């Protein structure tokens, strides 16, 4: 079982993430990405799914017209771990690489 990071470690790591990543009320990483239409949001969600599967670390996704919301935390640790921050960076890089 993995161990959740302490508050200071989370804060330090959060400072290294680009927007739109932030902590939500539950202390999970949260990001909302915007797109021109539903298909772009779905395609991004699919790309996130592939990154998550490769990392064996699976976020919650909320997809709607022109948006894809992502919530990350390590379920078995009951909080954030370095794996959450690694995946958040990969997701940001994926978004930044979009045409």
Predicted TM-score (pTM) of the model is: 0.95
Phi-psi region of 78 (alpha: psi -120 to 50; beta: other; left: phi over 0): left
**Residue 48: inside a domain, yes or no?**
yes
Helices 82-96/38-55 angle, 10° precision: 140
**Residue 82: inside a domain, yes or no?**
yes
Closest listed residue to residue 20, CA positions, set 52, 79, 67: 67
Tens digit of pLDDT for each residue in 33-46? 999 999 999 999 99
Question: Mean pLDDT in the chain?
Answer: 97
**Residue 1: inside a domain, yes or no?**
no
**Residue 2: inside a domain, yes or no?**
no
Judge whether residue 2 has pLDDT over 90: no
**Residue 81: inside a domain, yes or no?**
yes
- What is the domain extent for residue 19? 7-96
Altogether, the residues listed in the chain come to a count of 99
The domain total for the chain is: 1
Tens digit of pLDDT for each residue in 47-69? 999 999 999 999 999 999 999 99
For 91, the token pair is 């997701």
> What was the pLDDT predicted at 1?
73
Tell me the CATH number at 66: 3.30.1360.20
Judge whether residue 72 has pLDDT over 90: yes
């Amino acid at each position: 079982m993995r161990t959740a990071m302490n508050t200071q470690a989370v804060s330090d790591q959060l400072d290294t993430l680009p927007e739109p990543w932030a902590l939500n009320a539950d202390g999970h990483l949260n990001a909302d990405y915007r797109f021109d239409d539903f298909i772009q949001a779905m395609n991004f969600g699919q790309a996130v799914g592939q990154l998550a599967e490769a990392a064996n670390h699976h976020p919650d996704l909320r997809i709607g017209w022109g948006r894809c919301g992502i919530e990350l935390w390590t379920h078995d640790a009951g909080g954030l771990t370095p794996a959450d921050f690694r995946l958040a960076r990969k997701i940001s890089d994926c978004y930044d690489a979009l045409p």
